[in-house]
Structure 1
């Protein structure tokens, strides 16, 4: 739980009583590789913090192809925000790429924290803003760069992820075929 507290305190200050309240609502959870944290067609009911492991957000396009939108690794929050906040069905899957250890909050407990801790909403807003900025920064180069440059950029930005995700997921994220990714990796070595 120490990782969660350190993460939260990057975005604002809390006293020990507030931290204790947050921790009292937190539950440890393990999600096995390939299982889902949240699923398309269902309402997202938890906010998670990844202590160990990698998750990915993916969806199926109109051809039935699985597309990886992005990866989420340790020390990051995981939530399908639109589904969670508006109680609507999600359009994406959040899947464990590796075995994951998480700290989770139910919707009820998360809302109780928002209603009880003064300034918690500001901290959450800062966390969401950071996540959105990161998401845009991750996706923007994928539009304009060639496949090799996209792969090299990914290696540079996510050295802790690159060797822990299946090549099929990485190829999907980069918008290329798995055989193209294999050629790129072979030419780089």
Structure 2
């Protein structure tokens, strides 16, 4: 967590130590939820180890996976965290996970007392926007095979650790289509 915060080159060592005083640790087992739909999300967590998926239910009640997060990533139901409303998403551990988390009230306190935190939060919000835009463009511009190849190139660990039904959902295709793509790439 400290290394992650230092990577912004904005905060002082004292800023980071003060932040760490407000954090807590949490262990989640495989299958456990960080947050479920219709709950409030008043925490931000840093994934020290583990793997998560974010998903929602579509109008047919089917699960749609839209995001995977692993080590050295921040974890929260971002829109619910910002608005204070109940979340429409579920964030579930796909592996045993270790988190360091901090409450929204503690983050707001840090922000009110130190302008450097505003800069860090602005940077994080910008990164989240860019990630979201990249995801939308990928789904709209690339074929399913291109999306799979991108995962293979940039996140090969996901292909080994994530169940096929979640990968297929994330890629916006059926499991059957995913199996065909995987077979074509092997040949």
Q: Give the TM bin, normalised by the shorter chain.
A: over 0.9
Corresponding residue for 1:160?
Answer: 157
Partners in 1 of 2:83 and 2:69 — Cα distance?
Answer: 22
Q: How does 1:149-188 map to 2 (within 5 A)?
A: 149-188=146-185
Q: Root-mean-square deviation (CA), in Å?
A: 1.4
Once residues 22 and 46 of structure 2 are traced to their aligned partners in structure 1, the CA distance between those partners, rounded to angstroms, is 13
Partner of 2:74: 77
Aligned equivalents of 2:9 and 2:40: distance in 1? Answer: 29
Aligned to 1:147: 144
Q: TM-score with structure 2 length normalisation?
A: 0.93
Shift of 1:174: 0.5
**Structure 1 runs not aligned, ≥5 long:** none
More displaced stretch, 93-102 vs 128-137: 128-137
Q: How far, CA to CA, are the matches of 1:129 and 1:10 in structure 2?
A: 15
1:13 aligns with one of 3, 10, 13: 10
Higher mean C-alpha displacement, 106-115 vs 84-93? 106-115
Instruction: Please list, as runs of the form range in 1=range in 2, the aligned pairs for 1:27-106 lying within 5 A after superposition.
Output: 27-106=24-103
1:83 is paired with a residue whose SS is: helix
Confirm or deny: 8 A CA contact 1:11 1:127 kept in the other structure: no
Contact kept, 8 Å, 1:60 with 1:67, in 2: the verdict is yes
Once residues 136 and 92 of structure 2 are traced to their aligned partners in structure 1, the CA distance between those partners, rounded to angstroms, is 19
* Deviation at residue 11 of structure 1 after TM alignment: 2.0
SS for the counterpart of 2:60 is coil
Deviations 1:62-82 (A, max 9, x none): 001100011111111111122
Deviation at 1:39, TM superposition (A): 1.4
Runs of 4+ in 1 over 6 A off after TM superposition: none
Rounded to whole Å, the distance in 2 between the matches of 1:175 and 1:85 is 27
Question: CA-to-partner distance for each residue in 1:146-165, whole Å, 9 max, x for gaps?
Answer: 22222111211222322111
Instruction: Report the Cα distance in structure 2 between the residues aligned to 1:159 and 1:79, rounded to whole angstroms.
Output: 24
Query: Using the alignment, how far apart are the partners of 1:14 and 1:145 within structure 2?
Result: 38
Q: Tell me the number of residue pairs that the alignment of Structure 1 and Structure 2 aligns.
A: 186
Cα deviation, residue 61, structure 1:
0.3
Unaligned runs of 5+ in 2: none
Partners of 2:31 and 2:65 in 1: how far apart?
13
